[in-house]
Structure 1
Amino acid sequence: MKIIVPMAGRGSRLRPHSLTVPKPLIPVAGQPIVHRLVKDIAKVLKQPIEEIAFVLGDPAFFGDEVVESLKQLANELGAKASIYRQDQPLGTGHAIMSAEPSLYGPAVIAYADTLIRAEFDLDPNADSVIWTKRVNNPEAYGVIKLNDKEEIVELVEKPEAFVSDQAVIGIYYFKDVAVLKSKLQEVLDENVMHGGEYQINDGIKRMMADGNIFKTGTVDEWMDCGNKNITLETNAKMLGFLKEDGEEILVDQSAILDNSKIIEPCYIGANVKLKNTTIGPYVSIGEGTVIEDSVVKNSLIQTQTTIKNANLDEAMIGNHVKYNGNFKKISIGDYSVLE
């Protein structure tokens, strides 16, 4: 089994936090988004992962540090890491085809801007499985249409009339991903584009037309990381799940608490220093951050940051930031919001 992870986008909706760090590498509940996603998929698959193919964008942004992080992730799962580049932002289908040498055999394709909680077995009779989540407002999503055999026969984008309440979340299994590759190659050769992009759905629809059997794998939780507010919600949910799972290192042993209190669940990284401070609930703090004389809840704070005299709620603060709640002078990066 292999996992294909297209992650070449710049994550513009999450700016300023994605200006210097690719969105899939932004930590949520103590781990980068793409690390959590790949590990959770491996748990669902319940079989060895031989290769993880990452499709990255511009090397100037997705540089050596990113590549090394992804190789380490693959190594932790006992898999080979393959690195590909999508030279132009030409859509989901184009991104997948950028990993063309790895497109053979059983594979999962997963877009690296979402996290899941799921427990199910892959249907051995299916040529493909599309992972879905039941939603209350299917008109806002791309959804699946099922026949009386519970097989997927159509993908419908933002239906005006009810089709189903199962939304496509961007994770797919293929018994042989080479079949999808051949159909996507037809899409590229025929220059079939929507909004100036080549889409995975056009390859999938051609597979369906050829009689390939598509089934659903419904996840229990689908957590997005598209913008700041949604990412904070995902951070809180994930912290809650980790506590339920009995995760051992929610507070690193090297953290220093000086007259400070932690209200669970929280993630406190290595060498964090807290002084006269209350943290939590639902706070993640990255390595080397110092917080003094503050109250912080429902927030995500990255590494090597210093915060003083703050009362923060629903805050997302990046790396190497200096913030004093009693500020007179302040320097905030592009696209920041103070509310």
Structure 2
Amino acid sequence: MNIIIPMAGRGTRLRPHTLTVPKPLIPIAGKPIVQRLVEDIVEVCNDKVENIGFVIGDFGKDVEQKLLKIADSLGAKGHIYHQEQALGTAHAILCAEELLTGNTIIAFADTLFRADFTLDSSKDGIIWVQKVEDPKAFGVVKYDEDGIITDFVEKPQEFVSDLAIIGIYYMKDGDFLRKELQYLIDNDIKDKGEYQITNALENMKAKGSKFVPGTVDEWLDCGNKDVTVNTNMRYLDFIKDKKLIADSAKISNSTIIEPVYIGENAEIKNSVVGPHVSVGNNTKINRSIIDTSLIQDDTKITGLNATNSMIGNYVQYDGKAEDLSIGDYTVKK
């Protein structure tokens, strides 16, 4: 089994947090979004995952090394591919064309999921979907009474289906998908100005592939500050029975309302923290009341009363109650 993770997007909706860190490396309950994603995919796979390919922009060598370590931690070989221009989902996937062979999973790194199933690798293809209220912003599927997908529609402006494609796909024949993706590029076939995977899937379906929808228990977005804080909250609920507070963390004269993640060498004094707070490595919190928030590494916070907040790395904050979204290296007094 191969996994391809397209993640070259700039994450503009999550600024200022993505000005210094690519969105897929933003931590959720102590682990980067992309690490959570690949761990969840590996967990539902029957087959051993041999290769994980990350399709990135110009993120720098440090990011590349972190991604390779994530693959290694899962017993797979990591690969880095670069997408120089944002030309659509089909183009992004094709950047990792050498991994488009045999059983292949493609998962876009701006979404997380929770599911209780084991992947059925005997299917020609599985397209994971979730019912949404407003499907206009998504690709959607329609399927027949036998559960076979009959149509893929990209961002329909008139209602055709409310089953949104969440950005995770399984293909039994990765080589077939690669050929159809290349066909789109070679013939400049675009939808809404970009090369779309849904057009390749339509071609495969027309040539006999039978795709079925897969459903997940929960689809978690990481597109902007509010939904990322919510995703952090939901993940803490999912893993609340695991050890979430590092042994090296120092907590004094404080109340921790679980579930809370507290990273290595973090210090919490004279504060109430939780529920649903993630505190990064080396972060120091004093005289504060914080719930439902995500605070990253090497940050110093004093006198904060906050909820629904996201605070970056190397922040220094000394202030008053607010709903915050503060990027890296900010100083506020």
TM bucket (normalised to shorter chain) is: over 0.9
Instruction: Report the counterpart of residue 27 of structure 1 in structure 2.
Output: 27
Instruction: Report the counterpart of residue 39 of structure 1 in structure 2.
Output: 39
Instruction: Report the counterpart of residue 15 of structure 1 in structure 2.
Output: 15
Instruction: Report the counterpart of residue 275 of structure 1 in structure 2.
Output: 269
- Normalising by structure 2, we get a TM-score of 0.93
Instruction: Report the counterpart of residue 305 of structure 2 in structure 1.
Output: 311
Shift of 1:122: 3.2
Q: Which amino acid in structure 2 is aligned with residue 18 of structure 1? A: T
Instruction: Report the counterpart of residue 130 of structure 1 in structure 2.
Output: 127
Q: Does structure 1 residue 220 correspond to structure 2 residue 220?
A: no
Instruction: Report the counterpart of residue 205 of structure 1 in structure 2.
Output: 202
Matched positions, count = 326
Q: Which amino acid in structure 2 is aligned with residue 10 of structure 1? A: R
Q: CA 1:296 to 1:14, structure 2 compared with 1: closer, same or farther past 3 Å?
A: same
Correspondence 1:1-339 to 2 at 5 A: 1-58=1-58, 62-138=59-135, 141-159=138-156, 163-243=160-240, 246-248=241-243, 250-325=244-319
Summarize deviations over 1:169-205 as a string: whole Å, max 9, x none.
0000000111111011110011112343211111111
Separation (CA, whole Å) in 1 of partners of 2:327 and 2:166? 31
1:123, 1:215 within 8 Å by CA — same for their partners in 2? Answer: no
- Normalising by structure 1, we get a TM-score of 0.92
Unaligned regions of 5+ residues in structure 2, if any? none
Summarize deviations over 1:78-130 as a string: whole Å, max 9, x none.
11111111111111111111111221111100000111101223345421100
Shift of 1:141: 3.3
2:53, 2:99 within 8 Å by CA — same for their partners in 1? Answer: yes
Q: Which amino acid in structure 2 is aligned with residue 48 of structure 1? A: K
Summarize deviations over 1:238-292 as a string: whole Å, max 9, x none.
100111xx212x1111111110111011111010001101101110010000010
Over the matched positions of the two proteins, sequence identity in percent amounts to 52
Separation (CA, whole Å) in 2 of partners of 1:164 and 1:14? 28
1:295, 1:310 within 8 Å by CA — same for their partners in 2? Answer: yes
Shift of 1:159: 4.3
Summarize deviations over 1:40-85 as a string: whole Å, max 9, x none.
0011113211000111112xxx111111111111111111111111
Q: Which amino acid in structure 2 is aligned with residue 30 of structure 1? A: G
Separation (CA, whole Å) in 1 of partners of 2:136 and 2:60? 38
Q: CA 1:160 to 1:12, structure 2 compared with 1: closer, same or farther past 3 Å?
A: closer
Q: Which amino acid in structure 2 is aligned with residue 25 of structure 1? A: L
With 43-52 and 268-277 compared, the bigger mean Cα shift is at 43-52
Separation (CA, whole Å) in 2 of partners of 1:197 and 1:95? 11
Shift of 1:162: 5.1
Unaligned regions of 5+ residues in structure 1, if any? none
With 301-310 and 125-134 compared, the bigger mean Cα shift is at 125-134
Q: Which amino acid in structure 2 is aligned with residue 118 of structure 1? A: A
Q: Which amino acid in structure 2 is aligned with residue 178 of structure 1? A: D
Summarize deviations over 1:147-181 as a string: whole Å, max 9, x none.
12100111123446654442210000000111111
Separation (CA, whole Å) in 1 of partners of 2:130 and 2:250? 41
